[in-house]
Amino acid sequence: MALFAISDFHLALSGDKPMDIFGQHWHMHHEKIKINWLNLINKDDTVLIAGDISWSMSIEDGLKDLEWIHNLPGRKIFVKGNHDYFWTSINKLNNLYEDMKFIQNNFFSYKQFAICGTRGWNNPDSDDFSSHDEKIYKREIIRLKLSLDDAKRNGYKQIIVMMHFPPFTDFKLDNEMTKLIKEYKVEKVIYGHLHGVAKEKYPIEKLNSEVTYILTSCDCINFTPIKIMD
């Protein structure tokens, strides 16, 4: 019974959205994920999936992608990515499959840990941060706090946060999101969104101020779920 993480599947099983336009390593990437998943993960394990699950624009189109994930072994917990337009009713999503749970202002548990999270957004120290970004960013802070507060109300003291966007730019940690993470004594932050050369700039795992930040974009981890803990 172990905890794994991976993100940015960018599935398009019901449409035509080839990912190999971003490089040959993306060719048939879903098959690479499946093979590696089956080699590592069994039905008693839990996998955190940090967004950008499917390219589908509606839940009806996205069901084929979700069914593909459902058919992989293990329990799966998701947060929303910036491309997950199929993600609408959280209640509908959480009623689809017993083994797949979606975080939005709530949390789920793994052993003694609360798994909290939100999508996140562009960070205030980004060069192109706008007034529009600020509105979304503040809303995402509220959503993360609601998730964290829900865990605290239920007695959880150990917390893992999962986000799609990294809560920093270039590991600049002085912003509202990282302060909230520190305030709630979060132990690990799982994030995705970054691709390509990101793995050269952002190490897969980095410890900052007693918080371990772990990058899980599938192309940065060779399309292989990484173990977070036993």
- 1-45 pLDDT, tens digit per residue, is 999 999 999 998 877 676 655 667 778 889 999 999 999 999 999
Rounded distance, CA 112 to CA 11, Å? 32
pLDDT digits (tens, 9 = 90+) for 42-69: 999 999 999 999 999 999 989 999 999 9
Contact 45, 39 (CB under 8 A): no
Q: Which residue has the higher pLDDT, 199 or 186?
A: 186
Per cent of the chain over pLDDT 70 is 96
Structure confidence at residue 205 as a pLDDT band (50, 70, 90): confident
pLDDT reported for residue 52: 95
- Whether residue 196 has pLDDT greater than 90: no
* Amino acid letter, residue 185: K
Beta bridge partners of residue 6, listed in sequence order: 49
pLDDT reported for residue 25: 78
CA-based nearest residue to 29, from 10, 7, 49, 55: 10
CA-based nearest residue to 1, from 32, 44, 40, 33: 44
pLDDT reported for residue 22: 64
pLDDT reported for residue 137: 97
pTM: 0.94
Structural domains of the chain, with CATH: 3-229 (3.60.21.10)
pLDDT digits (tens, 9 = 90+) for 112-122: 999 999 999 99
What average pLDDT does this structure show over 82-107? 96
What average pLDDT does this structure show over 206-225? 92
Strands 3-6 and 46-50: parallel
What average pLDDT does this structure show over 101-105? 98
Give the dihedral of Cα atoms 35, 36, 40, 43; nearest 10 deg.
-50
Rounded distance, CA 79 to CA 118, Å? 6
pLDDT reported for residue 21: 56
Rounded distance, CA 35 to CA 211, Å? 31
Beta bridge partners of residue 213, listed in sequence order: 189, 206
